Amino acid sequence: MAPEEPGAPAMLPAVPTYDLYGEAQPRPVLDPVHLETLMARSHPHDWNIRPHRHRALGQVFWLSAGSGLILREGQAQAFEAPFLIYMPPGAVHGFRFAPWSAGHVLTLTDSLLASALRLMPEPWPAGAFSFGLAGHEPLAEGLNGAFQALEAEFRRTGPGRNTAMAGWVLLILSLLRRGLAEEASARQRPSPQSVLVERFRVHLETHFAEHLPLPEHCRRLGVTPSTLTRACRAVTGQSPLQLIQDRLMLEARRLLAYTASSVAEIAFQLGFEPAYFSRAFTRQEGLSPVAFRRRASWSGPDGYIK
């Protein structure tokens, strides 16, 4: 497990952090690209990958056969092959795969990932995403072939290996982006309001806990408060302030579920006075922070939140 950095947020030390899942010590040198079969790491752990994160590593999971559950933000979602999952650096995630599921796990350093994404003209989503490829056979076949070719390069030594792997990685990421586009093809092309709301959500990922006034958020986005409010209400049915509050409560749920910090410590970390935080959390979640933490305690060998 990698050592924590000084000054890291309180939630980070409590969530297991690995270079590669299950390896207690960080690797002295980690290749920019690491590829392994799904079975290689899942089978020794009885197909159960408990919630963890990778601080400076992004991952792509390609399930070519089988099924399972993905745990994200305390919620388990079922999936079936063919299925693709993207996890950005720092995202907490866990899995329970059906025995003998097959596929690949691609791990990329954040520097390589950032370099590859800069080459793409289309915007890349800020957070984790996943989608099924049933009914998209050409894309599924292309991904399967790309992962097999990348695996062959990964096992090879000699000149040109890293360059070839980078090429296959870029192709895989491009196919991911194409898959997102195909998934959305039945929906209307994103409106300017949808684009603005997505920009606002990306902005909040960095600034949600700063309790900035709405005009300051808008100044940084280059829009007026009325423009942002109209867009948020049209796309989400909520006001910008409600979206900010939702993001704060999401972080509160994470901290309550994944750390041992006291409710007061969590309140201060999120910029709240403890009594106000408890009232606001209870009003939004229908449970007090203490009751939510009790419900979110781990039970049984699955490692999934009740």
Tens digit of each residue's pLDDT (9 = 90 or more) over 46-78: 999 888 888 788 999 999 999 999 988 667 889
The band of 200, judged by pLDDT with boundaries at 50, 70 and 90, is very high
| 252 closest CA partner among 293, 211, 206, 224 | 293
The band of 3, judged by pLDDT with boundaries at 50, 70 and 90, is very low
Per-residue pLDDT, averaged over 190-199, amounts to 89
Tens digit of each residue's pLDDT (9 = 90 or more) over 219-268: 999 999 999 999 999 999 999 999 999 999 999 998 998 888 999 999 99
Per-residue pLDDT, averaged over 266-288, amounts to 92
Tens digit of each residue's pLDDT (9 = 90 or more) over 93-107: 899 999 999 999 999
Cα distance between the two ends of the chain: 26
**Please, what are the domains in the chain?**
33-186 (2.60.120.280), 192-297 (1.10.10.60)
The band of 278, judged by pLDDT with boundaries at 50, 70 and 90, is very high
Give the residue ranges of DSSP H helices in the chain: 38-42, 110-118, 137-154, 161-183, 192-207, 214-221, 225-236, 240-258, 263-269, 274-285, 289-295
Q: Which residues pair with 132 in a beta bridge?
A: 83
**Whether the predicted model's global pTM rises above the 0.85 cut:** no
Cα gap 204→238, rounded to integer Å: 15
pLDDT, mean over the chain:
84
Cα gap 4→91, rounded to integer Å: 16
Tens digit of each residue's pLDDT (9 = 90 or more) over 72-83: 866 788 999 999
Torsion of CA 296, 283, 90, 183, to 10 degrees: 100
pLDDT at residue number 265: 94
Cα gap 58→60, rounded to integer Å: 7
Cα gap 61→172, rounded to integer Å: 11
Cα gap 306→298, rounded to integer Å: 7
Local structure of 179: helix, strand or coil:
helix
Tens digit of each residue's pLDDT (9 = 90 or more) over 128-178: 899 999 888 899 999 999 999 999 999 988 888 989 999 999 999 999 999
Pick the range with the lowest mean pLDDT from 18-22, 116-120, 233-237, 255-259. Answer: 18-22
Amino acid type, 222: G
Is 207 a residue whose pLDDT tops 60? yes
| 249 closest CA partner among 283, 275, 218, 222 | 283
